[in-house]
């Protein structure tokens, strides 16, 4: 029986308090029923979350169905409403992206997804039809990490027909999404037209597709081993070093660029984009270059490749100067304080402003009055970041400090406080190895 087949899954879930992504369709309702049986046998608590996309006239009814069922069976329930924005990737892909973003916010360390064996085969075929590589052909893993959440797909070895049989045997009600029968979507065309026709000629096709997916997943695991090794070498000091990257073969360089975009949540680049930037960076690894990606930019500067996501390029202080006590400004902008030659401790209660630099900004720095632009250059801040770098000023607009770099000689004290942004500190500031000469 299906419940007994999944005993290893129940053992893995016992202490994790999982959350089920509940659409209300056949597969997720069957998994919900199985979880209720597991809870009755072991006492394992779990919750359910339904994502309301608002794309169907029936969306409200689906949400009520899921909520009423969970209420009747004493299952904690989350209703997650999202707005789907189609930015050229298609409504299906846009809805999937919004769904995963919403589910990632659910307070659970384990998220259960009800994808089954037929979903896996369709995903493989879609990847093949779209010209996908090993990563795409490997389809969906049974377990994966998403942000701080573990994804589990316990039904990947169970067919849609088996789930339907289980639902009939236990009188499980479910909803039908009308879009699942629309052949306008490529997946539905595969499911309802291509695969039934192919099965007439190739009755072993499901098993052959399963074998192909397993082979692609093994190849991907091997590729990931090489990727981790290359990443550890190239990023040995915590930052992507372009000269070390150049020592790799062309194929491994391209693979590591793709990995860089993934590691820093910059989006999935096209193969052509990876090829083009690989050639640019390999030709001049120590020169400045920028790589535009779906969710940000990769910036090559002074031999380092640095991530600049869209969120970083639009900080709070860019729209207008922020005014408040230093403590309030630091807290609101995610800044921290470290000790060094910096502000005296009473600065935390002083009213200051936080803003991006302007060309006229100057500051007493190591005995010389310098422009903020020059100080940023000397500390390896990439050109793209200089116009938005956070500087601290008094209410007259005079520059008192540059976040993460230091405090003006005019107000600095030994063992003082220096404000800094942790994410920026790790990537965008390089210590100035040639200090400015003192004024004589």
Pairing of strands 296-301, 304-309: antiparallel
Q: What share of the chain in percent tops pLDDT 70?
A: 95
How far apart CA 337 and CA 392 sit, in angstroms, is: 13
- Maximum distance among all Cα pairs of the chain, rounded to whole angstroms: 91
The per-residue pLDDT for 178 is 76
Sign (positive or negative) of CA dihedral 308, 314, 317, 318: positive
User: DSSP string of 215-232?
Assistant: HHHHHHHHHHHHHHHHHH
How far apart CA 27 and CA 12 sit, in angstroms, is: 20
Q: What share of the chain in percent tops pLDDT 90?
A: 70
The per-residue pLDDT for 52 is 87
The per-residue pLDDT for 88 is 56
The per-residue pLDDT for 396 is 93
How far apart CA 128 and CA 124 sit, in angstroms, is: 6
Answer yes or no: is pLDDT of 438 > 50: no
- At residue 118's C-alpha, the angle toward residues 126 and 205, to 5°, is 80
Pairing of strands 110-112, 19-21: parallel
How far apart CA 377 and CA 384 sit, in angstroms, is: 11
Q: Which pLDDT tens digit goes with each residue over 29-79?
A: 999 999 999 999 999 999 999 998 777 788 899 999 999 999 999 999 999
Higher pLDDT: 369 or 380? It is 369
3-state DSSP assignment of residue 357: coil
pLDDT tier at 440, thresholds 50, 70, 90: very low
Q: Which pLDDT tens digit goes with each residue over 220-247?
A: 999 999 999 999 999 998 899 999 999 9
3-state DSSP assignment of residue 336: strand
Sign (positive or negative) of CA dihedral 255, 261, 264, 265: negative
Answer yes or no: is pLDDT of 435 > 60: no
Query: Terminal CA-to-CA distance of the chain, rounded, Å?
Result: 87
Question: Which DSSP category does 252 fall into?
Answer: H
Domains and CATH numbers, the chain: 1-202 (3.40.50.620), 236-312 (no CATH), 316-428 (no CATH)
Sequence-distant (6+) residues with CB within 8 A of 29 are: 22, 69, 167, 172, 173, 174
CB contact at 8 A, 18 and 112: yes
Question: Which DSSP category does 439 fall into?
Answer: P
> Is 404 a known ligand-binding residue?
no
The per-residue pLDDT for 103 is 82
The per-residue pLDDT for 92 is 65
Answer yes or no: is pLDDT of 94 > 80: no
Lowest mean pLDDT among 119-133, 135-149, 325-339: 135-149
* Average pLDDT of the residues in 75-91: 77
How far apart CA 299 and CA 282 sit, in angstroms, is: 14
How far apart CA 252 and CA 244 sit, in angstroms, is: 12
Answer yes or no: is pLDDT of 320 > 50: yes
Answer yes or no: is pLDDT of 434 > 60: no
Pairing of strands 351-355, 391-393: antiparallel
pTM for the model: 0.76
How far apart CA 426 and CA 404 sit, in angstroms, is: 10
* 339 phi, psi to nearest 5 deg: -90, 150
The per-residue pLDDT for 427 is 74
The per-residue pLDDT for 432 is 53
> Is 25 a known ligand-binding residue?
yes
> Is 23 a known ligand-binding residue?
yes
Answer yes or no: is pLDDT of 87 > 80: no
Element (H, E) at 166: helix 160-169
The per-residue pLDDT for 237 is 85
Q: Which pLDDT tens digit goes with each residue over 155-171?
A: 999 999 999 999 999 99
The per-residue pLDDT for 228 is 97
> Is 24 a known ligand-binding residue?
yes
Which bin fits 31, alpha (ψ -120 to 50), beta or left (φ > 0)? Answer: alpha
Q: Which pLDDT tens digit goes with each residue over 96-116?
A: 777 777 887 776 789 999 999
């Amino acid at each position: 029986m299906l419940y007994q087949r999944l005993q290893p899954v129940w053992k893995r879930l016992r202490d994790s308090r999982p959350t089920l992504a509940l659409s209300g369709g056949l597969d997720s309702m069957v998994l919900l029923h199985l979880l209720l049986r597991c809870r009755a046998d072991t006492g394992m608590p779990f919750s359910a979350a339904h994502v309301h996309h608002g794309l169907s006239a029936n969306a409200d009814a689906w949400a009520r169905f899921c909520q009423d069922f969970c209420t009747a069976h004493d299952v904690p329930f989350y209703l997650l409403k999202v707005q789907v924005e189609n930015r050229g990737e298609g409504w299906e892909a846009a809805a999937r992206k919004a769904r995963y973003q919403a589910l990632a916010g659910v307070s659970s360390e384990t998220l259960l997804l009800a994808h089954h064996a037929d979903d896996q085969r369709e995903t493989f075929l879609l990847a093949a039809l779209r010209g996908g590589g090993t990563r795409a052909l490997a389809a969906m893993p049974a377990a994966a990490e998403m942000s701080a959440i573990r994804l589990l797909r316990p039904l990947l070895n169970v067919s849609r027909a088996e789930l339907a049989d289980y639902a009939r045997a236990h009188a499980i009600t479910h909803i039908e999404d009308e879009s699942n029968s629309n052949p306008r979507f490529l997946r539905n065309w595969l499911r309802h037209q291509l695969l039934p026709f192919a099965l007439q000629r190739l009755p072993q096709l499901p098993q052959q597709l399963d074998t192909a997916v397993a082979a692609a997943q093994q190849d991907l695991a091997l590729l990931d081993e090489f990727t981790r090794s290359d990443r550890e070498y190239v990023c040995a000091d915590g930052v992507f070093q372009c000269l070390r990257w150049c020592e790799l073969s062309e194929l491994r360089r391209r693979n590591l660029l793709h990995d860089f975009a993934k590691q820093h949540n910059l989006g999935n680049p096209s193969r052509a984009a990876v090829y083009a930037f690989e050639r640019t960076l390999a030709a001049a690894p120590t020169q400045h270059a920028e790589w535009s990606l779906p969710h940000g930019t990769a910036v090559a500067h002074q031999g380092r490749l640095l991530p600049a996501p869209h969120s970083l390029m639009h900080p709070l202080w860019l729209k207008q100067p922020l005014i408040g006590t230093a403590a309030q400004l630091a807290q609101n902008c995610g800044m921290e304080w470290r000790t060094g030659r910096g502000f005296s401790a009473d600065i935390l209660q002083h009213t200051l402003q936080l803003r991006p630099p302007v060309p006229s900004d100057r500051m007493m720095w190591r005995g010389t009055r310098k422009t903020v632009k020059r100080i940023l250059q000397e500390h390896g801040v990439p050109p793209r970041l200089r116009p938005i770098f956070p500087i601290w000023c008094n209410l007259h607009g005079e520059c008192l400090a540059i976040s993460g770099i230091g405090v003006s000689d005019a107000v600095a004290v030994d063992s003082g406080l220096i404000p800094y942004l942790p994410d920026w500190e790790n990537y965008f500031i390089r210590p100035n190895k040639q200090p400015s000469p003192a004024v004589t």
